[in-house]
Structure 1
């Protein structure tokens, strides 16, 4: 009887550990989206010749975007990079309205092996930082 209680307790502990690990994984993933978004780093990359990708919708892009930016909606980023045969070490600056979609795009590129991409955050924040 004692052995069954011990096994049940161990299973419960394992279950809680798995839930905690899943939560931690999601938190770390979301923190990595937020970890980038330094406008000065973004502008330094742009000034150094990084490829600038606006990951918003085509309509948002048409309403205004950074100079030399191309538009690839975030949900198509990995496929579009593959189709365009963009080098996996190409310096890429991603941005959107707030940094959320560019964070998703960043994660997609990282999972495909792109090693030099950066989540620049939101368009207005980037514009404001450049104006200073």
Structure 2
């Protein structure tokens, strides 16, 4: 079975879109700030050292690799609205994926710290 060039290109576009990181679709500073301003749980998933160098007021520091057990320790319900950020959006994406895998249903990857504060 031979596929036309258009069919192959369409399949490649679909494949590329499916491989894009989930944070690429999020990370809208205006959406993140709307949520933050409403007082949702804000978590900085960078290291403690990065957090100490600067963070968004009201943020809690939980490194991305500890996010699931720490939220369980804090008895955070799985429908709690949570905004996550890091330096670039990569670690917050990993944290978000871990949370979603555990059944958390209301998370938002806000992306990178500098991107967020530059829009405020």
Under a length normalisation based on structure 1, what TM-score does the superposition of the two structures give? Answer: 0.76
| Cα gap change, 1:43 to 1:33, in 2 (>3 Å) | same
Counterpart check, 1:31 vs 2:55:
no
Deviations 1:78-123 (A, max 9, x none): 1111111101111111000000000000101100111111000000
Give the Cα separation in 2 of the matches to 1:42 and 1:98.
14
Instruction: Compute the displacement of 1:28 (Å).
Output: 3.1
Instruction: Compute the displacement of 1:27 (Å).
Output: 6.6
Instruction: Compute the displacement of 1:35 (Å).
Output: 1.2
Counterpart check, 1:40 vs 2:10:
no
Give the Cα separation in 1 of the matches to 2:19 and 2:67.
18
Show structure 2 runs of 5+ residues with no match. Answer: 1-13
Which has the larger helix fraction? 1
| Cα gap change, 1:27 to 1:72, in 2 (>3 Å) | farther
Give the Cα separation in 1 of the matches to 2:103 and 2:96.
11
Number of corresponding residues: 107
Counterpart check, 1:102 vs 2:92:
yes
Spell out the pairing of 1:72-91 with structure 2 (5 A cutoff).
72-91=62-81
Which protein has the larger Cα radius of gyration, Structure 1 or Structure 2? 1
Give the Cα separation in 2 of the matches to 1:39 and 1:71.
19
Report runs of 4+ in structure 1 exceeding 6 Å deviation: 24-27
Spell out the pairing of 1:1-132 with structure 2 (5 A cutoff).
28=18, 30-130=20-120
